[in-house]
Structure formats: structure tokens, C-alpha cells
Amino acid sequence: MFRDKIELKDIEKIDPEYRDLLGRVLTIQADCEIGGPHLYVEDILPAAPTKIDQLIVARTAAEEVDHFRKMARILGDIGLDVSYVLSWPNQKRYVEAFRGKITTWEDFAVFGLLIDRVGRYQLEEYVGCTYAPLDRILPDVLKEEEGHLDYGTNKTAEMAAKGGEAKERVQKALNYWYVKGLDMFGHSESRRSERYIYWGLKRRTNAQARQEYMKEVNSLIEGMGLEVPDPNAGRLYF
Ligand SMILES: [Fe+2]
Ligand SMILES: [Fe+2]
């Protein structure tokens, strides 16, 4: 297991696999960061029910753009230009969850509850990682991500508590995003995921992280009086 702390100046000296893996995971991370605002700003920002909600949507989007910038800077330093993901269409995003469009408040809330939470899990993989420039940006990014998922969680709980049709709409959104969230952890039998762990770039295997995530979200969903969706229906990766 590799546990040295690597700075930018050291990256040329170690096995190219290290740079390849770092470049790969951060390119996907950068695409997901900017992918969020592209899903919801257009329809959700002008349709916010209150001024505070509108401010929060705008701030969330601004923070995601900043997360993108931070990832893009680290990638730029190791010679990878990811500016193309700024303008490519949603359908091209690396991760399925970011390929559609969010047009309802139920979807926006559940996206925060489930997908921003996957984002937190993914960022937590890098806490204390061997690539020091990445490790250094994490505290701020994680703090903001926590705000996004708390907002999504509270909004989802509020809508579920109304019961009736409102609750049914939330359940529908939950059924849609739940499996998308589970898929974001990737294949359980992934050789690459073992290489990330070997190089100290991730802490958990895909399967471990997904397991912990399910435990956390399932209890939140049940606590809101909603049904935990079928974890296998419509999944792409197991
Ligand atoms: Fe983010
Ligand atoms: Fe977020």
C-alpha cells in the first residue's frame, strides 16, 4: 500500500498509474459538480416557492460551480483540461444521474437528499488521501455539500409530511433517484477500485461505500414515512 503524501512536484516521479487514476476520478467529479446546476437552474430557480428557496437554489448552484473550478484547477495542474464539460449537453455527462433535467420541486429536493449525499460519500473517499492538493480543498467543499444535502433532506421531509398527493409525488421522485444514486458507486467487483485503495486515493471499495450509503438513506426514508424503493429496479451497475 502506498501511503506517501504527494505534492504536484512529485507526480512526475511516481508510477503513471497514479496520475491516470487521479485524473480519471477527478474528471468525473468535475463533471458531476457542474452537472448539478445544468440539471436544475433553468427550471427550478425561477419557480422557487419563496425568496429564501430561490436564494438557496442560486447559492447551491454557485457552490457547485466553485467545486467544479477547484477540481478543474487540480486537473489543470496535472495537465488535464476539463473545460469541455462546461458546455457539453447533459446527455453526454459521465454519470447517468446527470443526463436528464429537473423540472419539479420534488425532484430537486430528493436530488439533494440522495444525489448530493452520494457526492458527500465520494468526497469523503479522498479525506486524508495521498494527493495533498486534493486533500486540502476538501474541508470547504464538504461543508458546502453538507448544506445541500441537509436542505434536500428537510424539503423532502416537509413534502412527505403533507401526505396525500404531495407525498405520492415525493415517493415517485424517490423511486427515480434512489437507484440512480446506488449506481453512482459503480461496480462492486471493480479492479480499478482496488487500485485506488492501493494508491491511497480512496478509502473504501465501491461495495462498502454503497452499503454504508444505503444504511444511512434507508433509515432517513423510513423516518419520513416513505417507502424504501426496490434497490434493484432499473439498476445499471451492481
Ligand atoms: Fe458539489
Ligand atoms: Fe452539492
Q: Which ligand is nearest to the CA of 111?
A: 2
> 163 alpha carbon to ligand 1 midpoint, in Å?
31
CB-based contact 72:30 (threshold 8 Å): yes
What pTM did the predictor assign? Answer: 0.96
Q: Which ligand is nearest to the CA of 117?
A: 2
pLDDT in tens, 16-52: 999 999 999 999 999 999 999 999 999 999 989 999 9
> 58 alpha carbon to ligand 2 midpoint, in Å?
12
CB-based contact 85:30 (threshold 8 Å): yes
> 165 alpha carbon to ligand 1 midpoint, in Å?
31
> 220 alpha carbon to ligand 2 midpoint, in Å?
18
DSSP-assigned letter for residue 100: S
> 13 alpha carbon to ligand 2 midpoint, in Å?
34
Helix axis angle, 116-125 relative to 132-161, nearest 10°? 160
pLDDT in tens, 204-235: 999 999 999 999 999 999 999 999 999 998 88
CB-based contact 31:93 (threshold 8 Å): yes
Residues in the chain: 238
Q: Which ligand is nearest to the CA of 147?
A: 2
> 142 alpha carbon to ligand 2 midpoint, in Å?
9
Each residue's pLDDT, cut to its tens digit, for the chain (238 residues) gives 899 999 999 999 999 999 999 999 999 999 999 999 999 999 999 989 999 999 999 999 999 999 999 999 999 999 999 999 999 999 999 999 999 999 999 999 999 999 999 999 999 999 999 999 999 999 999 999 999 999 999 999 999 999 999 999 999 999 999 999 999 999 998 899 999 999 999 999 999 999 999 999 999 999 999 999 999 988 888 8
How many Cα neighbours within 13 Å face the side chain of 21?
A: 22
